[in-house]
Amino acid sequence: MSDPFALQSADLAALAGRARLRSLQTRRGVDFASNDYVALANAPRMRAALRAALDRGVAVGAGGSRLLRGNAPEHEALEEQAARFFGCESALYLANGYGANSALLSTVPQKGDLIVYDSLIHASAHEGMRLSRADRAMAAHNDVQAFADAIARWRAKGGTGNVWIAVESLYSMDGDRAPLDDLIALADAHDGVLMVDEAHATGVFGPDGRGLAAHLDGRANVIALRTCGKALGAEGALVCGPQVVRDYLVNRGRGFIFSTAPSPLMAVAVSEALRICVEEPERRERLMALVNRANELLAPLGATVSGSQIVPLILGEDARTMAVSEAVQCAGFDLRGIRPPTVPIGTSRLRISLTLNATADDVERLAACLVEVIG
């Protein structure tokens, strides 16, 4: 019998030959790899909220999709709280950011519409667009004119539908920000909708941690995705925007309709995280102080000063990146190498993620280690 997995084995071998083979690793060393930016994932208040929920009988699992018996009071309470917190008309809670992005982009834009997306947008957005019936066009990263040109080309070819502009507010591998004010002006000029993935900004930036798009919340042509598994320290994602978007996803979003609902306990955790964002602003202040110190120490090594908690140190070659990553991990720092296809070819890097799980002293020791390893 021939090997039914011969192609898969050959693909894995080819990845290994290019230093791109991935494997799972458990946590080790000081955290410079997670997205737990303000250290809520194991915060005492989060643990206490979950214990109290268990004590009052909140179920561990949802038991079904939200359109069946899986819709718990905790889900709806979180959505009402989130709509108030973010200042939007409605919010819908889904199991994770990947699923939410995929459901949103595959469902809401319609046949005959155009989605213009940033070249560095999340893989989950690409998955949603692949399933969408809308046309799509890529724009150069953070280039508003490129977005405008893509819309103009589409209109010139006879495109008459709605325009959807899809971006991240803070990019996960470079740590830079989208020009949101210019993009919303572009959306307004074309009667379009701005779709903003706030995954890495929620809980870190904006008033009370409401993100970089906080000043756009409540607008009729803005949809924001707030991931709950990063700075909010839990799981799930909130699609925030007009009520019609929520209603349409509930009725037409296959990724929502046919998925088991998130755990009611996770809804409790996200709810507590939103309260912590308001009541403990010092977490964000401490993180920004850590960012500033890291920039001072890491910029001389060639790290990009992004102005955010994501600091890329681009090394270029895949093999070199992974060798440096392994050496740093052996020295006691959990810092992972990032390779294509996650980042463009030739830009393999160390993605230094700054969180309150590390201290200023940890940052100083990491910088000294990198000086020794990189040379």
Among residues 172, 221, 325, 348, which one is catalytic?
172
pLDDT at 302: 92
Residue bearing the bigger pLDDT, 28 or 368: 368
Give the active site residue among 79, 113, 118, 168. Answer: 168
pLDDT band at 27 (very low <50, low <70, confident <90, very high): confident
Is 101 a residue whose pLDDT tops 90? yes
C-alpha angle 263/173/102, rounded to 5°? 45
271/49 Cα distance (integer angstroms): 9
Sheet containing strand 348-353, edge to edge, reads 310-316, 348-353, 337-338
Q: Which of 253, 260, 261 is CA-nearest to residue 104?
A: 253
**Catalytic member of 118, 127, 174, 197:** 197
Q: What is the mean pLDDT of residues 97-113?
A: 97
pLDDT digits (tens, 9 = 90+) for 115-164: 999 999 999 999 999 999 999 999 999 999 999 999 999 999 999 999 99
| pLDDT tens by residue, 38-94 | 999 999 999 999 999 999 999 999 999 999 999 999 999 999 999 999 999 999 999
Global confidence as pTM? 0.94
Per-residue pLDDT at 19 = 84
Compute the average pLDDT of residues 250-269. 97
Mean pLDDT of the 200-211 span: 98
The rounded mean pLDDT for the chain is: 96
The phi, psi pair for 236, rounded to 5°, reads: 105, -175
Identify whether 141 is a catalytic site residue: no
Active site residue 282: no
pLDDT at 2: 87
Q: Is 6 buried (19+), middle (13-18) or exposed (0-12) by CB count in 10 A?
A: exposed
Tokens encoding 102:
């995929």
Q: Is 172 a residue of the active site?
A: yes
What are the tens digits of pLDDT across the range 264-323? 999 999 999 999 999 999 999 999 999 999 999 999 999 999 899 999 999 999 999 999
**Residue 230: active-site member:** yes
- Distance (Å, whole) CA 216 – CA 220: 9
pLDDT tier at 24, thresholds 50, 70, 90: confident
Write out the two tokens for 112: 């005959």
User: Measured over all CA atoms, what is the biggest interatomic distance in the chain, rounded to whole angstroms?
Assistant: 64
pLDDT band of residue 356 (cuts 50, 70, 90) is very high
Whole-number Å distance between alpha carbons of 312 and 299: 10
246 token code pair: 């929520």
122 is catalytic: yes
Q: Can you give the pLDDT at residue 240?
A: 98
Annotated catalytic residue within 113, 122, 135, 271: 122
In three-state secondary structure terms, 146 is helix
Q: Quote the CA–CA distance of 348 and 22 in Å, as a whole number.
A: 14
Instruction: Say if CB 304 and CB 294 are below 8 A apart.
Output: no
Do the beta carbons of residue 227 and residue 198 sit within 8 Å? yes
State the catalytic residue, choosing from 169, 200, 217, 318.
Answer: 200
pLDDT of 136 reads: 98
Active site (annotated) includes residue 2: no
pLDDT at residue 62, as a whole number: 97
Alpha helix positions (H), the chain: 6-17, 44-55, 73-86, 97-107, 123-131, 144-156, 180-189, 243-252, 254-257, 264-279, 282-298, 318-330, 360-374
96-113: b (≥16 Cβ within 10 Å) or e: bbbbbbbbbbbbbbeeeb
> Cis ω on the peptide bond leading into residue 341 (within 30° of 0)?
yes
pLDDT of the residue at 18: 87
Catalytic residue among 74, 101, 230, 353: 230
Q: Which domains does the chain have, with CATH numbers?
A: 20-40+281-374 (3.90.1150.10), 45-278 (3.40.640.10)
